[in-house]
Amino acid sequence: MEENHERMQDQPNKGQDDNKDKPSGLMEKIQQLGQTNVPQLSQDSNIHCLTIVGQIEGHMQLPPQNKTTKYEHVIPQLVAIEQNPKIEGLVVILNTVGGDVEAGLAISEMISSLSKPTVSVVLGGGHSIGVPIAVSCDFSYIASTATMTIHPVRLTGLVIGVPQTFEYLDKMQDRVVSFVTKHSNISEEDFKDLMFAKGNLTRDIGTNVVGDDAVEYGLIDGIGGIGTAIKKINELIEMKKQSDQQEGLVQ
C-alpha cells in the first residue's frame, strides 16, 4: 500500500516537470518569429492571401535547406478557395526564383481558372516559372525594385541525349510562352526576344526585367505593392457583385 501511495505522489510531479519543459505561447512566438505581438488576419476577411516563395518544388523533393513552395500544398488550397463561399478574392504574393516547370504551370492554370477575382504582387523577384504565375491573375502588380528573369526552359540532372529530348523541351517552352502571352499584354515576339537575348545574363541567355520595364513591355499591369493590390482586389470583388446582380435581374 505504501509503495502505491508513493507512486501516486510521483506522477503529478512528473506531469509538472513535462509542462515546465514545454515553451509558453509567448516564448514560442519569440523563438519562431522574433517578436511577441503578431498581427492576425480578421476571421471574417473575404480575401485570402497565398504566398509563393523560394523555389517551386515539383515531383522531386528539394534539399531541406532550400526555401520551397510545395505544389501539393498549394493545389488543395486553390481548390478550397474556389469552394469556400466566404472567400471572395485571392491575392498572390510572389518572391520566387522559379523551379519545376510543370508544377509552376499547374499552379498558374489553377489560378487563371478560378471564378473569383485574383490579383498578384511581385516583390523582390518573380523569376523563371514565377512569370506565368504572376500573369495568371486578373490583375498583376510589381514593385518598382523587383525583377523578373525570363530565360529558356532547362533540364538538370541525367539527360538522355536524343533528338526527342530537345523536342520535348521545345514543346514545354511553347506551353510557357503560350500561357504568358495569353494572360498578359506582351506579344509572343517580344517575349521570345527577351527569352533568347544574349549578353544580359552572365554566360547565359535571357533577360532580367526590372519593375518599370516589366510594365512597359506589357508583361505586368502596373507598379504597386500590398496596399494597391488590396485596393484593386476590393474593386474587382465589388465589380463582380454588381455583375452577378445584373445577371440575376436579367434572368
* Residue keyed to cell 523569376: 127
Given the residues 48, 151, 183, 184, the one annotated as active site? 151
Rounded to 5 degrees, φ, ψ at 149 are -95, 125
Catalytic position from the list 128, 136, 140, 184: 128
Phi, psi of 102 (to 5 degrees): -65, -40
**Which residues partner with 126 through β-bridges?**
96
C-alpha cell at 133: 504565375
Strand partners, 222: 141
45 included as an active-site residue: no
Q: Which three cell numbers stand for residue 140?
A: 498583376
- Count Cβ atoms within 10 A of the Cβ of residue 87 and give its class: 0-12 exposed, 13-18 middle, 19 or more buried: middle
Distance of CA 184 to the CA centre of its chain: 17
Longest Cα–Cα distance of the chain, Å, equals 89
Q: Which three cell numbers stand for residue 222?
A: 502596373
Per the annotation, the verdict on 184 as an active-site residue is: no
Residue indicated by cell numbers 528539394:
62
CA distance 183 to 209: 18
Residues acting as catalytic residues: 128, 151
